[in-house]
Amino acid sequence: MTLIPLGILAASGAGGIIVSVAGYFAGGSGTSTVDKFAFPADTRTTLGTGLSSGNVGMGNMSNPNVAGYVSGGDSGSTLTTVDKFAFPADTKSTLGTGLSSAVYYPAGMQNWQTAGYTMGGLNSSETAMTTVNKFAFPGESRTTLGIGLSNARGLFTGLSNSGVAGYAAAGYDGGGRLTSVEKFAFPSDSRSILATGISVATDHVAGTSNSGVAGYVAGGSTGTFTAIVEKFAFPSDTRTTLGTGLSSARRICRGMSDYNVAGYIGGGKAGSNVTTVDKFAFPSDTRTTLGTGLSSAREVGAGFENSGTV
């Protein structure tokens, strides 16, 4: 029997079984490529239609069973673009309303089938931002939260405990790397700051979430590349560090997840760009490395997933 996290049940209004279909790693290092990993086999294909431009430094959101979104980034200039990939066909469109301002290296989070968020990022002058854009599902109308991030940040990651809260973790504020983790409670979007942040100031981090159970902050740069993976248990937000981190120290990797089954950290730079995809099985957090990695070595731009209930 598959157990359903309470947060997901509350948000979806359904008592069904979690079914994850696929995870996606999109763009990075100037490529528009979107790689798709079908669950549970983890077989990789590459979408016939990629991003609307070769891109780096995007954010990500997911509306389970409906669509995945890739937001902002840089493609020679900083972008407001939000590309949408409709499930299950993976057809791509571009939202008529993009971000409220052009940013790269924002982070994303989502409230199960209710809204997706693109947070922070760096503008074209490399100034870190506090803005949080919210896209209401299913209409994708955009608002900007009256209360944004408490600390301007880019090069960070978002975590999602869907139906309960979203998080903004680590990153860079223009003056230095950060340890802080901010929490937005759903549905009010009220913001607090966790008493315990990550253990060492880090930017260029990746994140993955096991909704209802825990969120993970992986890799990045502390001045040198790191393989550390830190885990925040929901709902207490207590932090531990996994005994086994990434298979190599690297930054600018990205995460996606197979809900209740595994989290994946893909690509990044470890001296040079890599194709590596590390898989952390839930709930044991044991790590394996996929035999088939990304279709090309790159600092991955965004990761998202298609998960829902039946």
* Per-residue model confidence (pLDDT) at position 100: 98
Structural domains in the chain, sorted by start: 6-309 (2.120.10.80)
* Per-residue model confidence (pLDDT) at position 3: 41
* Per-residue model confidence (pLDDT) at position 10: 39
Tokens of 303: 């990761």
* pLDDT for residue 1 is more than 80: no
Give the C-alpha distances (Å, rounded to integers) separating 272 from 33, 229, 250, 299: 19, 20, 9, 9
Least confident of 105-109, 237-241, 257-261, 282-286: 257-261
In this prediction the pTM is 0.93
- Closest to 308 measured CA to CA, from 263, 265, 243, 260: 260
Cα–Cα distance measured from residue 230 to residue 232, given in angstroms and rounded to the nearest whole number: 7
* pLDDT for residue 9 is more than 70: no
* pLDDT for residue 162 is more than 90: no
* pLDDT for residue 303 is more than 90: yes
